[in-house]
Structure 1
Amino acid sequence: MTTTIPAALREAARRDPAAPAYVEATPQGDAVLSFGALLERVRATAAHLVDRGVGAGDRVAIWAPNSTDWAVTALAVTYASGVLVPLNSRYTAHEVAEVLTRTDAALAVVADGFLGRTQLSDLAATGVTTPVLDLADLPALAEATTPAQRAAADARADAVGPDDVADILFTSGTTGRSKGAMSAHRQSLGVAAAWAGLGGVQPEDRYLVVNPFFHSFGYKIGILVGLLAGCALYPVATFDVAATLRLIESARITVLPGAPTIYQSLLTAPGRAEADLSSLRLAVTGAAVVPVVLIERMRAELGIEQVVTAFGMTEAVVVTMCRAGDSAETVATTNGRAIPGMEVRIAEDTGELLVRGEFVMLGYLDDPEATAAAIDVDGWLHTGDVGVLDEAGNLRITDRLKDMYISGGFNVYPAEVEQELLRLPGVDDVAVVGVPDERLGEVGKAFVVGTASAEQVVAHARERLANFKVPREVVHVDVLPRNLSGKVLKNELRGH
């Protein structure tokens, strides 16, 4: 198996250069990019990055929604021997500026106007000094590169090694400070290969990528799976249920991974009964509690032959996964068994899930203390989740040691939200917990001590935080319940 991303791209182009790699809807119709053309666009884009001073090992951030241009740019970063730093497309400019500063990014590639926002001017207003390039300008700049410049980019790609850092994906911790999980080329490709193998992804598959490219589920289990399997990817910037139904039918989509909310929306969509979804064969879900009835309905009503669940995290991407033939109850109530290259065990004293193997991150960027706290001397990654293993080795997550909750498939870390809300005048104390939500799985509920109104709290959060982090409910209390050491008793708050 190829062990660097540039090598995987070249192999995909060599294997079947005319096969479609990306199909994206445009006002003029479908824009199809073959694997051969993908390689040439990546070479040209990498040549421009090198020409503008991006060096080997330099970090390049992308702040944009799913698109073919996103994928080309990401692959070009690694082709130029740079390190990819994907940024959540829903982030505010303040959140982006913090990551750019912490990574000492050599360049930020930004899509302006997504969701009606003004990303370029917003980022400039933060005062961040990182050079910024409009994603819309990049294709023309790449096209203008010379054969000599492209040859220089090829030399960069030749020099990339399997143990070189390929990407830094940012997550957050209970301290509220985001952490950058670093993965090597061999790790990012290896986990993609394992997932594709268990899912049986083939060149003839048509893969609708609803999962955001900035997330490991969209990037490593989307873009990299597409390279390794040689299948066509259909990226969508935002999930629209009616448009998704039309695309599944017209393009004969076969692979559709996503959070449970994606499938719940499809099942309840007006006109779903009239839509022809018979092409769907593989759905992989997780990131939230999955009702057994949802798995049964996905198989019976959506007609998806293979429905499986998985467990993963930014620090390890995919750890466990169900297999074809598992029962609906197994799929819905467990996260499957360890994938090839990974092993799992449950700590006897705490019940915490520990994972070890080829795909555990190299470590956190510039944070040896956090790395040592996460990965012990024997190589076990401490997940912060409490779980059990059945006799067959299937994992079931039962609780969280940390307070993190999952909203619409995205991890939300209350400490980060709380720290931001405490900057608002009139918020003297605050605690945020995740509470059940029928559509999103969980949403935030903020318990506030102080004079700031609920409207002010929500408005402040919307200005400073991505929308999935914004509390959906604000409750005023006189005092937060705490134990003798001063820790907030969040279990008591969840009962309110």
Structure 2
Amino acid sequence: MTAQFVPPLARTLPALVMEAAQRHGKRIFIEDGSTRIDYAGLPAQVFAVSRALIAHGIQPGDRVAIWAPNRAEWIIAALGIHCAGAAMVPINTRMKGAEAADIIERSRSRILFVVDRFLDVDYPAMLAACRPATLEKVVAIGQAGAHADCEWAGFLESGQAVSEAQARMRAAAVRPDDMSDLMFTSGTTGRPKGVVSAHRQIIQAFIEYVNIAGIRTGDRYLIVNPFFHTFGYKAGWVTCLIAGATVLPHPVFDAEAVFRRIEADRISVLPGPPTLYLSMLAHPKLAQTDLSSLRVAVTGASTIPPVLIERMRRELGFEVVLTAYGLTECGGLATICAADDDAQTVALTSGYAIPGTEVRIVDAGNQPLAAGEAGEICLRGFHVMQGYFEDPKATAETIDADGWLHTGDVGTLDARGYLRITDRLKDMFIVGGFNCYPAEIEAALTAHPAIAQVAVIGVPDERMGEVGCACVVLRPGQVVDEAGLIAWSRERMANYKVPRFVRFFDVLPVNASNKIAKNELRAQLRVPA
């Protein structure tokens, strides 16, 4: 690093906005097309959102949702929600209307900020047929159209009756342990659950991330990872706010577009999946393109060969290549490699525990295991969630009496304390970086009138890492083919959840407990367990 990183003193996101404005002044915080927002001007933009929320009657602790791709308004809306003392509820842009409505209803979000159109989909229209009664206002980022209550500019104008001084008082009243966000995840099984996180947890964890990765004031950070995910939100634009870096939002993963932007926008920090870097290394114009601005890469989400780490350093010019491990329930970050770790360590491990975090491996009886022995990964520390929203039973099943978060992931710790993931959640698979939970997909598929029984497993895929395969038993006299069931699924669930294959069975194999034996299914389909 050219200068020693001095961490901010703030322990809430509202306080961080104010501190960053003082520290970084006219340095650009967000650069999104023609939109430029500097640090000094950030508070006024954020408080404009807070004033409108307060005018609408939003109180501390209320929930406000965002359903939009990566763009400047997403960040301004989120910080405005935080500064109003409310909790931000991000929604996956891949979700269909009913899936989004479920999260809005269960979180009791009173306001929704939603993109008007994205990838030729009218998002407000998709929600209209299943809009929860608890949702008081739909604010379109773009044109309001027939299915939104108002557009962005009109909503901000509605806050003029509330002074900025009132908004600043509301922001100053936010405490470090107040709920900052409610991020819905399926956890280890089934229906998505709301993970409650606090301001202090985010800031403390990602101060460590900035320090370890060596992210600097003035870095230009291209954020391809979606803002609705911890990787794009907390390890993305919040990290920039901590470090004084510039956020360059990128709405859709497109390796060719990202490649072009590196040279044009002088990108220095570029997190992403391994496929991004592989596509860059294979690009026909690699030798003719100026990639000299690149410095920091953070990757993961699938198996990484050590040679890829070596090539990223040698051919793409990255000084720092890191892998890390975390889950929504711990704020997205628990372990991370060191900047000077060798390629084998970066590729084959997920690093060591960040300061303030403990990692241990336990057996089926919850007893700690020795180095090198495989068992369940458990985490304890400041960043462990406050709990699942209004679900004490699920919380108690996940966080034990001693404060250990049971991840459901299987791994080992070596003698250095480096974590290696040897298996994922029992049945979870990852499609293009998105976690897929079979119980959730199976629940949706059983609504099909022709299906008597279904089990979903992940199968290897060269492009996506893994994809879903639905193993189906039909009801007597019912008929549906593979193409028909896939088409039906596309209308009802996010694209990454849609099974890419369907296999039909007369009966599914079961074990002694009469549970579906997915290992046998994998064996029958010649898929590794």
TM bracket (short chain): over 0.9
For residues 52-71 of structure 1, the aligned pairs below 5 Å read 52-71=56-75
1:163-184 Cα deviation digits (max 9, x unpaired): 1000011100444111111101
Of 291-300 and 308-317, the range deviating more from structure 2: 291-300
CA contact (8 A) 2:55 2:162 kept: no
In the alignment, which residue of structure 2 is the partner of 1:378?
A: 402
**How far, CA to CA, are the matches of 2:404 and 2:500 in structure 1?**
36
Give the structure 1 partner of residue 204 of structure 2.
Answer: 190
- Structure-2 separation of matches of 1:471 and 1:206: 37
TM-score normalised per structure 2: 0.91
Aligned to 1:461: 489
Gaps of 5+ in 1: none
Corresponding residue SS for 1:91: coil
Shift of 1:142: 2.0
Q: Distance in 2 between the 1:48 and 1:218 partners?
A: 26
Contact 2:205–2:333 at 8 Å: present in 1 too? Answer: yes
- Asked if 1:255 is matched to 2:266, the reply is no
Q: 2:139 is matched with which residue?
A: 133
2:163 aligns to what SS in structure 1? helix
Match of 1:300 among 314, 323, 330: 314
How many Å apart are 1:397 and its aligned residue? 0.7
- Aligned mate of 1:9, from 17, 34, 42: 17
Q: CA deviation at 1:435?
A: 1.3
Worse-matched range after superposition: 411-420 or 238-247 = 238-247
In 2, the alpha carbon distance for the partners of 1:81 and 1:113 equals 29
Given residue 350 of structure 2, which amino acid in structure 1 is its aligned partner?
Answer: N
8 Å CA contact retained: 1:174, 1:414: no
SS in 1 for 2:41: helix
Alignment equivalent of 2:46, drawn from 34, 42, 47: 42
State the superposition RMSD in angstroms.
1.4
* Structure 1 residue 261 displacement after superposition: 2.3
Structure 1 equivalent of residue 448 of structure 2: 424
**Which amino acid in the other structure matches residue 134 of structure 1?**
A
What's the CA shift for 1:370? 0.5
Amino acid at match of 1:96: A
Deviations 1:353-406 (A, max 9, x none): 001001111000010000001000110000001100111111001113421111
User: What is the rounded CA distance, in whole Å, between the counterparts of 1:443 and 1:293 in structure 2?
Assistant: 25
> Aligned partners of 2:364 and 2:442: how far apart in 1?
30
* CA apart distance, 1:143: 5.1
What is the letter of the counterpart of residue 454 of structure 1? E
Deviations 1:309-332 (A, max 9, x none): 000100011010000111111100
> Once the 2 structures are TM-superposed, how far is the Cα of residue 485 of structure 1 from its aligned partner?
1.3
Bigger drift between 347-356 and 68-77 goes to 347-356
3-state secondary structure, aligned to 1:402? coil
- Greater share of helix: 1
Separation of aligned partners in 2, 1:424 and 1:33: 48
Decide whether the 8 Å contact of 1:92 with 1:465 is kept in 2. yes
Task: Measure how far apart 1:141 and its partner are.
Answer: 3.3
Aligned length: 492
Alignment check: 8 A CA contact 1:425 1:452 kept: no
Whole-angstrom distance in 2 between the partners of 1:384 and 1:144: 46
The corresponding residue for 2:216 is 202
Which residue pairs with 1:320 in the alignment?
Answer: 335
- 1:267 and 1:143 mapped to 2: Cα distance? 48
Match of 1:326, SS state, is coil
Q: Does 1:474 align with 2:498?
A: no
C-alpha distance after superposition, 1:18-77 (max 9, x if no partner): 00001112xxxx321101222110011110111112111110000000000000000000
Deviates more, 1:466-475 or 1:296-305: 296-305
Q: Shift of residue 147 of structure 1? A: 7.5
| Structure 1 contact 45–139 (Cα < 8 Å) conserved | no
Q: Please, which moves more after superposition, 289-298 or 380-389?
A: 289-298
Per the alignment, residue 359 of structure 2 pairs with 344
- The alpha-carbon distance between structure 1 residues 34 and 342, as it changes in their structure 2 partners (threshold 3 A), is same
Q: For residue 154 of structure 1, what is the aligned residue in structure 2?
A: 168
1:173–1:486 CA distance, 2 compared to 1 (3 A): farther
Q: Does 1:368 align with 2:392?
A: yes
| DSSP 3-state at the match of 1:36 | coil
**Identity across matched positions, percent:** 49
Q: Which runs of 5+ in 2 are unaligned?
A: 1-8, 143-150, 366-374
Q: Distance in 1 between matches of 2:115 and 2:309?
A: 36
2:427 alignment partner, one of 396, 400, 403: 403
> 2:110 matched to 1:96?
no
Matched, 1:171 2:177: no
Asked if 1:241 corresponds to 2:255, the answer is: yes
